[in-house]
Structure 1
Amino acid sequence: MIRCVIFDMDGVVVNTEPIGYKANKALYNDLGITVPDSVYATFVGNSDKNIVAKLKDLYDILLTHEQLLQKQYSYFYKLFDTSDEVKLLPNVKEFIQHLHANGFKLLLASSAPNRKIDKVFTRFGLHPYFDAKLSGEDFEFSKPNPAIFNAAVAKSGFTKEECVVIEDSTNGIKAAKAAGIYCIGYKSGLSIDQDTTEADITITSFKQLNSNKLQTLPITL
């Protein structure tokens, strides 16, 4: 029986991709580099520190890792704090409230830094519903490495068989499956296209799920 739902954040709970894309493109322009969308798509689901490491491997960037990371943050948070484009994904808050009211333990396992997680949860009033929030910045290896999901299961107090992950990114789904956890792929149609074929099932709306369907696996949509 499923007792815990582990959510990714970007692309599952909140849609920060439009401003993230704009912020990163402005950063790349400032750095004098061109990052094709095909390369950019491979970054989705990675932690910022791992994205920065990949950028430095791929391009001739004179800034140190920490300098580049802070520069990336400055571009992103300037937009985050001023833009009205940051929105929750359709029906996700209602789904979160429904699960919480029905006794599920909810955890977040996001590649986003703690600062970003706190900003999103504060803006949209999500703190009361989650028992724990894990950030990719606290792990050496990023998704598709399963470390963050293994830690989330340990934090939940349940077995892997009692947990389910909801992910939108190829890297995130690979991480969940590498951890041995049932994974629901989510395709909102609002994000850069990701391959969800490795997920156990794929949904396009949170209206397709409810507490009864999550109680037992496999889920029938």
Structure 2
Amino acid sequence: MVKTVIFDMDGVLVNSEPLHHEVSLIQFKNLNIEVTNELFATFTGNSNKTIYKKIKDQFNLPHTIEELILAKNTLFLEAFDKKEDLHLMPGVKDLIIDLHNNGVQLIVASSSEMQVIDKVFERFDLNQYFSHKISGNDFPESKPHPAIFLKAASYSSAPKEECIVIEDSTNGIKAANAAGIFCIAYKSEGVDTQDQSLADTIIYTYNDLNYESLKNINS
């Protein structure tokens, strides 16, 4: 029986991937580098440390990784505060409330920095439902490495076998698989850059999920 649900954040809880892309393009222009859409798609699910190490090495940038991350997050947080049409994924708040009301423990395990996670959770009033928030920035290796999900499972009040992960990215799904945790892929409309074939199951709308449908899904 499922006792703990571990959510990714960007692209799973909140439709923030387009905003990340938008501010990244601004930063890439400021850096005078050209990052293709194909290369950018491989970043989804990675921590900023991993992303900017790749960018720094590939384009031989003189900046430190920390400087690059700070510049990106500054752009993102400024845009986040101004963007009024940024919303939670349709139906996910109802799912969160339903699971919480039925005693399921909720944990977020996101590759974003905690500063960004906190911003999202405050804006959408999510803190009351989640027992733990985990940032991929706290680990030496990011998804597809399983460290973040193993850490999340260690915070669970139940064994790992009674946890599930909800992810959207190829890297995140691989990380859940490597951690040995049942993985549901959420495929939002118009997102075709991520290979979700390794997930245990794929959903296209949160209306398909509730406590009753999830509680025995990994049995």
TM-score, normalised via structure 2 length: 0.97
Identity of aligned residues (%): 47
Residue 138 of structure 2: aligned partner: 138
Once the two structures are superposed, residues 176-216 of structure 1 have per-residue CA deviations (whole angstroms, 9 ceiling, x without a partner) of 00000000000012546211100000000011111112111
Q: Distance in 2 between matches of 1:181 and 1:11?
A: 19
1:97 aligns with 2:105: no
Cα RMSD of the aligned pairs, angstroms, is 1.2
Consecutive unaligned residues in structure 2, runs of 5 or more:
none
1:198 aligns with 2:198: yes
CA contact (8 A) 1:17 1:191 kept: no
Structure 2 counterpart SS, 1:44: coil
Residue 176 of structure 1: aligned partner: 176
> Aligned pair in 2 of structure 1 residues 71, 202: CA closer, same or farther (>3 Å)?
same
Q: Distance in 2 between matches of 1:168 and 1:207?
A: 16
User: Runs of 4 or more off by more than 2 Å in structure 1?
Assistant: 190-193
Q: Distance in 2 between matches of 1:120 and 1:103?
A: 23
Residue 110 of structure 1: aligned partner: 110
Residue 48 of structure 2: aligned partner: 48
Q: Distance in 2 between matches of 1:147 and 1:218?
A: 21
Consecutive unaligned residues in structure 1, runs of 5 or more:
none
Once the two structures are superposed, residues 31-76 of structure 1 have per-residue CA deviations (whole angstroms, 9 ceiling, x without a partner) of 0100000000000001111111111121121111111111111221
TM-score, normalised via structure 1 length: 0.96
Structure 1 counterpart SS, 2:100: helix
> Aligned pair in 2 of structure 1 residues 31, 114: CA closer, same or farther (>3 Å)?
same
Residue 12 of structure 2: aligned partner: 12
1:64 aligns with 2:64: yes
Pairs aligned (count) = 219
Q: Distance in 2 between matches of 1:16 and 1:41?
A: 14
Q: Distance in 1 between matches of 2:31 and 2:192?
A: 23
CA contact (8 A) 1:41 1:192 kept: no
CA contact (8 A) 2:121 2:127 kept: yes
Q: Distance in 2 between matches of 1:217 and 1:133?
A: 24
Deviates more, 1:62-71 or 1:136-145: 62-71
Q: Distance in 1 between matches of 2:76 and 2:5?
A: 28
Residue 21 of structure 1: aligned partner: 21
Q: In the TM superposition, what is the alpha-carbon distance from 1:218 to its structure 2 partner?
A: 4.3
Deviates more, 1:144-153 or 1:64-73: 64-73
> Aligned pair in 2 of structure 1 residues 190, 77: CA closer, same or farther (>3 Å)?
farther
Deviates more, 1:190-199 or 1:109-118: 190-199
Q: Distance in 2 between matches of 1:211 and 1:151?
A: 24
> Aligned pair in 2 of structure 1 residues 2, 102: CA closer, same or farther (>3 Å)?
same
